[in-house]
Amino acid sequence: MGILEWATSPWGQRVPIHIAWFLIWVSLIAGLLFLVVHAIYVRYFAKQKQYAATTSPELLSRLPEKISRHSLAARLFHWIMALAMLALLFTAFLPKVGVQFNWVTYHWIAGLVLTGSIIFHIIHASFFLDFWSIWPDKIDLQDSWKRTLRFFGRPAPLPRKSGKYPFDNKLYHGVIVLCGLAVMVTGIFMKFRVRTGILPRNPYLFGDMSWGLMYVMHGLAGVALIALVVVHIYFAVRPEKLPITYSMVFGSMKRDFYLEEHDPERWVVEPPPFPGSQKGGAHAD
């Protein structure tokens, strides 16, 4: 039982046609297994988080009560993308597990919404937000090494608190970027094989092998997204992560959580624009 389905083209060439659909279950089970193992680890084995102290009392006094984290535009993007992603996953994989409905139209429409939201996000994040805040930097790598050493009981200095996004969040974002771009780009090309009224149907755009690989890449990235979305939703509802989820809904997080989890020197929060204002933070996205 391979992970790909193969066929012989009319010209006698052996070509991949799509992934084997059992990978849907592999991905779903992997995602669920991760959250079970993680939940058990956090509940019974994880030690109290310890960070190197960096916050000065002077800085503390300047911080507002609510720290702005995500702008309205960023939040709208996130939720539109989330809805499109869920629609894509359900329309793609439910028919494969026996739930039959007219999925193709909903799938490509959701794909267009996802594509539009990703393009918006790339432009928004590149020109209007702190682009590098979501990408791992040198301190992240140093701190993750310290954490690894300490996890195994080896002597190492305490890691610093994270910037706006924790290291694992940045890694997750990186994987999502890869999978998201893969399904988006392959999905756009695949529209040339379906009569959607948007792109002219052209099955000869690529050769059979290239088309096959296109479908395989779309499928692999798609099933990977099942596990990634399961994990994402799991973290969104974990009690210790709820302030972050709250900030994705309402835009801000409480000062206490900010100070507990984030390094004000790595995620610089501007003081309130005028006295009395309770919400600060220009570096929101």
The contact set with other proteins (CB under 8 A) reads 5, 7-10, 15, 17-18, 95, 100-105, 193-196, 201, 203-204, 208, 211-212, 215
User: Rounded to the nearest 10 degrees, how much is the dihedral formed by the CA atoms of 253, 237, 110, 214?
Assistant: 110
Instruction: Using the minimum distance from each CB to other proteins, give the nearer residue, 54 or 210.
Output: 210
User: Please, what is the minimum distance in Å from the beta carbon of residue 182 to other proteins?
Assistant: 17
Long-range contacts of 241-244, Cβ-Cβ distance < 8 Å, separation of 24 or more = 244/69
Minimum distance, C-beta of residue 233 to other proteins, in the bound complex (Å): 29
In the complex with other proteins, the residue whose CB is nearer, 31 or 111, is 111
Whose Cβ is closer to other proteins: residue 141's or residue 209's?
A: 209
Residue 163 phi/psi, 5° resolution?
-75, -145
Task: Say if CB 158 and CB 52 are below 8 A apart.
Answer: yes
Could you tell me the smallest distance in angstroms from the CB atom of residue 267 to other proteins? 46
Spatial separation of the C-alpha atoms in residues 180 and 221, rounded to whole Å: 7
Give min distance, CB of 114 to other proteins, in A. Answer: 19
- Between 87 and 228, name the residue whose CB sits nearer to other proteins: 87
Q: Name the residue nearer to other proteins (CB basis): 77 or 211.
A: 211
In the chain, % helix, strand, coil (3-state, to 5) comes to 60, 5, 30
Measured distance CA(183)–CA(172) in Å, rounded: 16
CB of 272 to other proteins, least distance (A): 55
Q: Please report, for residues 60, 92, 256, 264, 265, the alpha-carbon distance to residue 53 in angstroms, rounded to integers and kept in the order given.
A: 13, 48, 15, 11, 11
Least distance (Å) from other proteins to the CB of residue 225? 19
Compare residues 10 and 153 and give the one whose CB is closer to other proteins. 10
Give me the least distance between CB of 191 and other proteins, in Å please: 11
* All residues at 6 or more sequence positions from 145 whose CB lies less than 8 Å from its CB, including other chains: 156
Considering the complex, state which of residue 186 and residue 247 has its C-beta at the smaller distance from other proteins: 186
Write down the residue that tokens 């329309």 correspond to.
91
Bridge partners of 66, per DSSP, are: 254, 279
DSSP bridge partners of 7: 15
